[in-house]
Structure 1
């Protein structure tokens, strides 16, 4: 799952994932089976080049299974970025129609922070294939309304293959159109994960493509430039129902480079 949040996140094809959220659809990092409710509290810090101030944030993320068919995801992020600050709130639902089909719908909005969306909506539909249901394909659509006049629409396609435990291979692409100007962009990503539920989950992801639009200040934006990113994630159980998660990411573009870390503590219940 990537973020519903800030303007510099995975917003359609052009958003390298700077803020990982439980609600995003393009993150390509394997997660543990959603057998338990969970609450995670954490923070993040990213250093930017080109004279930009560092990005810092605190977050709260939760997951509640209201039934065998429905998982509810929520997130609140308070962020300081590009000399501005704001709060993002998101809510999502994963609904299992049967043992083959499931959907993912998420909504988000924010207060303050020009880099956050005014409104973000994402939806996807997934199917499990093969006798072992170990091939999962996903198609999705997204809409992002920035706090200026810009808006994005996007199309998403992903596939995940679950080998004999513990390996998972994932790949995806996003096509995006940004208005005004009808600027098209595309991105792709590949991830490999090691998954041992209740023990450890480790994943590595590489991605790249073009960003159609990136707000740097409330009045200034960069248009149509390439980027490349590498991200490492680990979720470690320290006990049966609690542990920590840590991520490190490097992002490079001609506008600025960004490197940073995220850390959180989680509790299952």
Structure 2
């Protein structure tokens, strides 16, 4: 059976209320809701509006570059990205994402749109779709999520996201569920964790992953994010296979990302991140740099 990538890794729901669009740290081997190269994502606090600037934030644009060195004879990665969000009206946010990626000696472009919509003071929903052109990207991916805030101060947030994707060979398909829990602690700390359940076909290959993330910071100052992700992937990307014997399935991998987002002025700043990924076949070490602009 030919091996293609699976979205078991990097199934990361958008758990932020004000749709904080982070610059991508490193290219993952699988797509996410808004981008197929996401960094750890910052969930906005439930009371984020209380700390909003005097001039309402209507949107953000992130521009940047990322690169990674791979071992085991794999070619290095180099990506360029542009992404952001627009607050259409209070409670309605549209996120967009465009990435040009060079992975495993192949080039591809992926674009995505997602809508985050408040349904009530405690409920909000997510709907996203992305399209990729290369074999290591999903040809088509859809994400549908539902989130609820809990407690008198709404500091607890639970989420459930359904994912469905099809690869560019029109043969392999993936379906997955991500269950997440976030706590927005006082003094600008956010802790998040979750489980990802994925099934890849043909072959009914199942994968389960867990992730944890810790965020410190606030809007107009800085954000520091540490994210750890570990568990089972279904397939290697077809472009990554050096030989047919390398196409084993259901292997474990681990990924760690550290990202810094710093405001320099009221309406702009920079991002910097590092990432480490390893599986039984190769390791990946990368960095990313970018600028962002608020409007």
- Provide TM-score, normalisation by structure 1: 0.90
C-alpha displacement of 1:207: 1.3
Question: What is the rounded CA distance, in whole Å, between the counterparts of 1:195 and 1:142 in structure 2?
Answer: 30
The answer to whether residue 62 in structure 2 is matched with residue 40 in structure 1 is yes
Question: What is the rounded CA distance, in whole Å, between the counterparts of 2:220 and 2:152 in structure 1?
Answer: 26
In structure 2, relative to structure 1, the CA distance for the partners of 1:42 and 1:22 (3 Å cut) is: farther
Question: What is the rounded CA distance, in whole Å, between the counterparts of 2:198 and 2:227 in structure 1?
Answer: 20
The answer to whether residue 157 in structure 2 is matched with residue 140 in structure 1 is no
Q: Matched residue of 2:143: which SS?
A: strand
Counterpart contact for 2:61–2:85, Cα < 8 Å: yes
In structure 2, relative to structure 1, the CA distance for the partners of 1:91 and 1:14 (3 Å cut) is: closer
Paired position in structure 2 for 1:157:
179
Higher strand fraction: Structure 1 or Structure 2? 1
- Identify which of 249, 252, 271 aligns with 1:226: 252
In structure 2, relative to structure 1, the CA distance for the partners of 1:255 and 1:14 (3 Å cut) is: farther
Q: 5+ unaligned residues in a row in structure 1: which ranges?
A: 1-6
Paired position in structure 2 for 1:18:
27
In structure 2, relative to structure 1, the CA distance for the partners of 1:15 and 1:137 (3 Å cut) is: closer
C-alpha displacement of 1:23: 1.7
Superposed CA offset, 1:192-216 (max 9, x none):
1102210000011111001111213
Paired position in structure 2 for 1:122:
143
Q: Matched residue of 1:51: which SS?
A: coil
**Structure 2 counterparts to residues 31-180 of structure 1, below 5 A:** 31=43, 33=48, 35-111=57-133, 113-148=134-169, 149-180=171-202
Counterpart contact for 2:11–2:32, Cα < 8 Å: no
Question: What is the rounded CA distance, in whole Å, between the counterparts of 1:36 and 1:259 in structure 2?
Answer: 35
In structure 2, relative to structure 1, the CA distance for the partners of 1:165 and 1:131 (3 Å cut) is: same
Counterpart contact for 1:14–1:187, Cα < 8 Å: no
- Provide TM-score, normalisation by structure 2: 0.82
Superposed CA offset, 1:105-147 (max 9, x none):
1101123x21111101111100000010000000110011111
Q: Matched residue of 1:170: which SS?
A: strand
Q: 5+ unaligned residues in a row in structure 2: which ranges?
A: 13-25, 50-56
Question: What is the rounded CA distance, in whole Å, between the counterparts of 1:14 and 1:126 in structure 2?
Answer: 19
Question: What is the rounded CA distance, in whole Å, between the counterparts of 1:39 and 1:22 in structure 2?
Answer: 17
Question: What is the rounded CA distance, in whole Å, between the counterparts of 2:8 and 2:111 in structure 1?
Answer: 18
Question: What is the rounded CA distance, in whole Å, between the counterparts of 1:218 and 1:238 in structure 2?
Answer: 39
- Identify which of 257, 265, 269 aligns with 2:291: 265
Question: What is the rounded CA distance, in whole Å, between the counterparts of 1:74 and 1:53 in structure 2?
Answer: 28
Number of residue pairs matched? 261
Question: What is the rounded CA distance, in whole Å, between the counterparts of 1:133 and 1:162 in structure 2?
Answer: 8
Counterpart contact for 1:144–1:152, Cα < 8 Å: yes
Question: What is the rounded CA distance, in whole Å, between the counterparts of 1:186 and 1:252 in structure 2?
Answer: 16
RMSD across aligned positions (CA): 2.4
Paired position in structure 1 for 2:54:
none
Question: What is the rounded CA distance, in whole Å, between the counterparts of 1:222 and 1:187 in structure 2?
Answer: 18
The answer to whether residue 216 in structure 2 is matched with residue 194 in structure 1 is yes
